[in-house]
Copies of this chain bind each other. A is one copy, B any other.
Amino acid sequence: MPETVADLSESELLARFVPRLSAGRQTLHGPGDDAAVVAVPSGSIVVTSDVLVEDRHFRRDWSTGVDVGWRAAAQNLADVAAMGARPTSIVVALVMPRDLAVAWVVELAEGLAAACAPHDVGIVGGDLSSGREISVAVAAFGELDGAAPVLRSGARPGDRVALAGTLGRSAAGLTALTAGGEVVVEGAEVAVATYRRPEPPLLAGPEAARAGATAMLDVSDGLLRDAGRIASASGVAIDLDPRLLAPDVEALAELAEELGADAASWVLTGGEDHGLLATFPAGHPLPPSFRRIGVVGAGCGVTVDGVAPDLVGWDHFGG
């Protein structure tokens, strides 16, 4: 039996894939961070790409075409912002079955525009092709406006860990949709809206860069996992403070109870709100979009109040 994709984790597959790629002389930061940086004479652009695939990343009975277009754009713009850059433009490659309603495709365009236009992000090109399933591949670009890119690798012991945006709402929305199907569970409206149309705090990215952030990424796979990426890339330990995350948990507690779910799990492991997680040197005020949620220490890995994540339960957040 030949080895198949199913045999490997994503990181194992990437470890096979990425070393075979070429790096041009103008590549300042290639694969491995939220976005890549390519030199331009007396300037630089930030470039990233993410794809949404039907039935893997979205379901058409849970999300409209507008929702899917919005998400496809927003998750890419978040990656640009997570480098400390200001997104300027995207391109879109759309694959779709031939029996897809034109109205859905039109909605998708509207959703892309709705996520982009308020941020002066141009949708500057793309490609349409038929295929067996819908996929929406977006590449996004942004500018650093003279700032250095904020990578994942710069966190230092003593730095504060801070967050811009929300945690756990998208995961809560997905749980509500799973429980209720098309009928949105009462009280889940905000969570479902965040799942359908996340609003990454895009301005917080450049704000963090100007404030001297030492590391940053967007929380797309959950706080614990993404904090672990900063810890690993920076060679440090991150300890999260459950008291500072308690408001996030509290905000979802009622819905969690109704759904028989765990609000703390949503907050710690739910991705796709696309908030920005960053580290800042101690002794300076945090930029206004950010709030402190933990601290960087020597060592490795992520803990919550000093405890390994798989041992963290709700009661850590209750008091």
* Distance between Cα atoms of A22 and B25 in the complex (Å): 32
| Interface hits, A95-147 → B, CB 8 Å | 95-103, 105-106, 109-110, 112-113, 116-117, 120-133, 135, 137-139, 141, 143, 145
Instruction: Please state if A56 and B102 are interface contacts (CB–CB under 8 Å).
Output: no
Nearest residue (CB) in B for A120 is B24
A284 within 8 A of B: no
* Distance between Cα atoms of A131 and B186 in the complex (Å): 33
| Interface hits, A38-97 → B, CB 8 Å | 38, 40-43, 45, 47-51, 53, 56-57, 88-89, 91-97
A235 within 8 A of B: no
Residues of B within 8 A of A5 (CB): 96-102, 105, 130
Within the oligomer, what is the number of copies of this chain? 2
Instruction: Please state if B141 and A23 are interface contacts (CB–CB under 8 Å).
Output: no
Residues of B within 8 A of A18 (CB): 109
Residues of B within 8 A of A35 (CB): 125
Residues of B within 8 A of A6 (CB): 98-99
Distance between A43 CB and nearest chain B CB, rounded to angstroms = 5
* Distance between Cα atoms of A26 and B135 in the complex (Å): 27
Cross-chain contact of A129 among B31, B51, B100, B138 (Cβ < 8 A): B51
Q: Which of A17, A35, A124 has the most CB of B within 10 A?
A: A124
* Distance between Cα atoms of A21 and B113 in the complex (Å): 5
CB 8 Å contact bits of A193-226 with B (1 = contact, 0 = none): 0000000000000000000000000000000000
Instruction: Please state if A103 and B3 are interface contacts (CB–CB under 8 Å).
Output: yes
Residues of B within 8 A of A257 (CB): none
Nearest residue (CB) in B for A7 is B102
Stretch from A8-16, A238-246, A273-281, A292-300 at the B interface: A8-16
* Distance between Cα atoms of A47 and B127 in the complex (Å): 12
Instruction: Please state if A53 and B101 are interface contacts (CB–CB under 8 Å).
Output: no
* Distance between Cα atoms of A98 and B133 in the complex (Å): 15
* Distance between Cα atoms of A101 and B2 in the complex (Å): 6
Instruction: Please state if A20 and B139 are interface contacts (CB–CB under 8 Å).
Output: no
Residues of B within 8 A of A116 (CB): 21-22, 24
* Distance between Cα atoms of A210 and B233 in the complex (Å): 44
A178 within 8 A of B: no
* Distance between Cα atoms of A105 and B20 in the complex (Å): 11
A263 within 8 A of B: no
A256 within 8 A of B: no
Instruction: Please state if A135 and B141 are interface contacts (CB–CB under 8 Å).
Output: no
